[in-house]
Amino acid sequence: MKVLILVHSLTGNTLKFAEAIKGQLAQKGNQTSLVQLRTDPPLEGKGKDPKDFRITNLPECSGYDIVLLGCPVWGFSPSPVAMKAVKEVKGLSGKRFMPFATQSFPIAALGGKRTLNVLSNEAGKKGARIVQGVTVQRMFHDIDKETKDRASKVPSLLG
């Protein structure tokens, strides 16, 4: 299968999660591309970011079988970059789509689940076939262990 992983990462935690997922999918024989989303102007973090920005490297998804989109949770919601990406990306119709997220709070119900649902709903509006997403929590967790554990589940979730 050809898999596209799109990721927005500010601190590097979400990028590490994306790379771990890519490694797991590659081990299963998938051809996997990872794109770290970039913006103009560059975003620096919650509350400081301009409302008007563009994603400079958003690829089209038509050449892929599966699309994953990952981001950090910002204020109990997906990062603005991830929201813009899922709304603007072309070629999602008929593709399997899986969101993934990293968050500070120790329980997925404190923003992670909502983030996955919001991204899934937007992708569903574009005709994507939604696959259950995964989150990694940092606070009170071993983020490296959690990242490895959650990434190892992704291939089986994708089928």
Q: What is the mean pLDDT of residues 42-57?
A: 78
pLDDT of residue 61: 95
Q: In which band, very low, low, confident or very high, does the pLDDT at 143 lie, cut at 50, 70 and 90?
A: confident
> CA-CA distance, 37 to 131, in Å (whole number)?
21
Judged against a pLDDT cut of 80, whether residue 48 lies above it is answered with no
pLDDT of the residue at 130: 98
Residue-range definition of the domain harbouring residue 151: 2-158
How far is the CA of 129 from the CAs of 49, 53, 68, 132, in angstroms?
31, 28, 11, 10
Q: Residue 37 half-sphere exposure, CB side, CA atoms within 13 Å?
A: 32
Please check the confidence at residue 34 and state whether its pLDDT lies above 70: yes
pTM, two decimals, is 0.92
At 56, which CATH number?
3.40.50.360
Q: Beta 134-137 vs 66-74: how paired, if at all? A: unpaired
What does the alpha-carbon distance between residue 51 and residue 53 come to, in Å, rounded to a whole number?
6
Residue 35 has pLDDT above 70, yes or no: yes
Tens digit of pLDDT for each residue in 73-128?
Answer: 987 889 999 999 999 999 999 999 999 999 876 555 566 899 999 999 999 999 99
Per the prediction, the chain carries an average pLDDT of 91
Band of pLDDT at residue 2, cut at 50, 70 and 90 = very high
Provide the Cα torsion 56, 33, 80, 111; round to 10°.
-170
Residue 4 near residue 18, CB atoms below 8 Å: no
State the DSSP H helix or E strand holding residue 6, giving kind and residue range, or none if neither: strand 2-7
What's residue 105's pLDDT? 62
Q: Quote the percentage of the chain above a pLDDT of 70.
A: 90
Q: Considering only CA atoms, which of 135, 117, 124, 59 is closest in space to residue 95?
A: 124
Count up the domains in the chain and report the number.
1
Identity (one letter) of the amino acid at 45? Answer: G
Radius of gyration of the chain from Cα atoms?
Answer: 14
Local confidence band at 50 (pLDDT 50, 70, 90 cut-offs) = low
